[in-house]
Amino acid sequence: MKQIVLGRVGEITLKGLNRPRFEKALRQNIRRALKDIPALEVKMEKGRFYVEHEGDQQEVIERLRRVFGVVSLSPVYRVPPQLEAIREKALLIMQECVREGKKVFKVQARRAKKDFPHGSLELNHLVGAHILRNIPGLKVDVHNPEVTIHVEVRENAYVYGQIIPGPGGLPTGTAGKAMLLLSGGIDSPVAGYLIIKRGVVVEGVHFYSFPFTGEKSLEKVIDLARILATYQGKFKLHVIHFTEIQKAIFEHCPEEYFTIIMRRMMMRIANRLCTLNGGKALVTGESLGQVASQTMESIMATEEVAEFPVYRPLIGMDKMEIIALAEKIGTYKTSILPYEDCCTVFVPRHPKTRPRLEKVHAAEKDLPVEPLLTEALTDSETLFIMPEGVQKRFPLLSRQEEEGEEGEEE
């Protein structure tokens, strides 16, 4: 038997000329998130959608809770617009709630179909009375119910007892693309999540210092990218071999400036990748004052070499707030696995916390920036990551396009 989930979408975004584009992207994202669910049908309507399917409804809802643009979800029964059919389903829902120990309810009906013989208030009473007659010991309380049974009478009638919050945000793919500097830490995956949530397609760039950081640390980053893919549908991760650059910085630059110059090299590579892949912004997990490289002066010094706007969605957040979000989105457990990050390898003993730009320029003057950038890009690779895991990997500069990226809509 087919089951139905009703989803609601943000009303503001549905207004105006953007609506068709928004709906098309949302529909595509829903279909992608549920691609292996049997007998799937997705119908968009104004301000809402219906997903019909067979199989595990809990799984369908869990996946929809990661599709941005979805404001809330309800498992619903759809019946012909007839009182008896509505009453029967409402009773079924209430019986289920009673098994969970709930006793106080109300019915909230809405008649959108004008020729249905009972008005909304009348319907509340007709359905409520039917429930009270059939299940002893229940109570109606319109102000503080434990359960609200919703009845909507449209072309069909819909009956449901749950409204589950969705993730909100805007459908992935309705804004542009951005390049996320993705470390294995707590912050950058959260920053990525927040930008994906605004409709942006995020690609990741990770700076990898093999053999100073082992394969385990890369696996951890891939796993974080995979978690982000559960929200975005897929995730492209560029893995940059960064060791030669770090060695060159070590050789040519004063120690106090290692970190800041390393950051500038990261930015420069991110610029190239952003250009190559048609991005419009860079994203980092920086939070003001969290570490020496995140003071206002340090951020100025990294920003100076950025050729795109740099989005720092965590800039004003405390660590505790970031951790809470990391836990909520499911990246925290992976982030705290104890594998070292490239930055922990070449850490100066006394990093400059307030670097002055002229001093940074002087510290960087013997570094062969251009050749280092070219070499790093040539040596690196790109991974296509799906929620299930890595799908394929190839040299970064081979510019392979992802199969089925466009035109998967029937």
Task: Give residues in contact with ligand ATP (CB under 6 A).
Answer: 181-183, 185-188, 206-207, 266, 284-286, 290-291, 293-294, 341-343
* 217 is an interface residue for Mg ion by CB under 5 A: no
- Say if CB 331 and CB 193 are below 8 A apart: yes
Q: In this complex, which beta carbon is closest to ligand ATP, that of residue 22 or of residue 207?
A: 207
Q: In this complex, which beta carbon is closest to ligand ATP, that of residue 286 or of residue 364?
A: 286
| Phi, psi for residue 89 in degrees, rounded to 5 | -70, -40
Q: In this complex, which beta carbon is closest to ligand ATP, that of residue 4 or of residue 205?
A: 205
Give the footprint of Mg ion on residues 287-346 (CB under 5 A): 341
Total residues at interface with Mg ion (CB under 5 A)? 3
Which partner from the list ligand ATP, Mg ion, none does 286 bind, CB cut-off 5 to 8 Å by kind?
A: ligand ATP
- Say if CB 156 and CB 78 are below 8 A apart: yes
Which of 124, 172, 183, 287 is the binder for Mg ion (CB under 5 A)?
A: 183
| Residue 380 C-beta: closest distance to ligand ATP, Å | 12
Which partner from the list Mg ion, ligand ATP, none does 23 bind, CB cut-off 5 to 8 Å by kind?
A: none
| Residue 235 C-beta: closest distance to Mg ion, Å | 19
Q: Per DSSP, what are the bridge partners of residue 78?
A: 158
* 199 is an interface residue for Mg ion by CB under 5 A: no
Which partner from the list ligand ATP, Mg ion, none does 29 bind, CB cut-off 5 to 8 Å by kind?
A: none
**What is the number of the residue whose Cβ is closest to Mg ion?**
185
Which partner from the list ligand ATP, Mg ion, none does 342 bind, CB cut-off 5 to 8 Å by kind?
A: ligand ATP
**What is the number of the residue whose Cβ is closest to ligand ATP?**
185
Distance CA 262, CA 250 (A): 10
Distance CA 55, CA 293 (A): 50
Distance CA 390, CA 393 (A): 8
Helix or strand (DSSP H, E) at 133: helix 120-134
Reference 149, options 179, 127, 132, 116; nearest CA is 127
Could you tell me the CA-to-CA distances from 98 to 74, 101, 104, 152, 227 in Å, in that order? 19, 5, 9, 22, 36
| Residue 282 C-beta: closest distance to ligand ATP, Å | 9
Distance CA 311, CA 24 (A): 27
Which partner from the list Mg ion, ligand ATP, none does 181 bind, CB cut-off 5 to 8 Å by kind?
A: ligand ATP
Listed in order, strand segments (DSSP E) in 103-258 are: 104-111, 139-140, 147-153, 157-160, 164-165, 177-181, 201-208, 235-241
Q: In this complex, which beta carbon is closest to Mg ion, that of residue 296 or of residue 347?
A: 347
Which partner from the list Mg ion, ligand ATP, none does 79 bind, CB cut-off 5 to 8 Å by kind?
A: none
Q: What is the CA radius of gyration of the chain?
A: 26
* 185 is an interface residue for Mg ion by CB under 5 A: yes
Chain contacts with Mg ion (rule: CB under 5 A) = 183, 185, 341
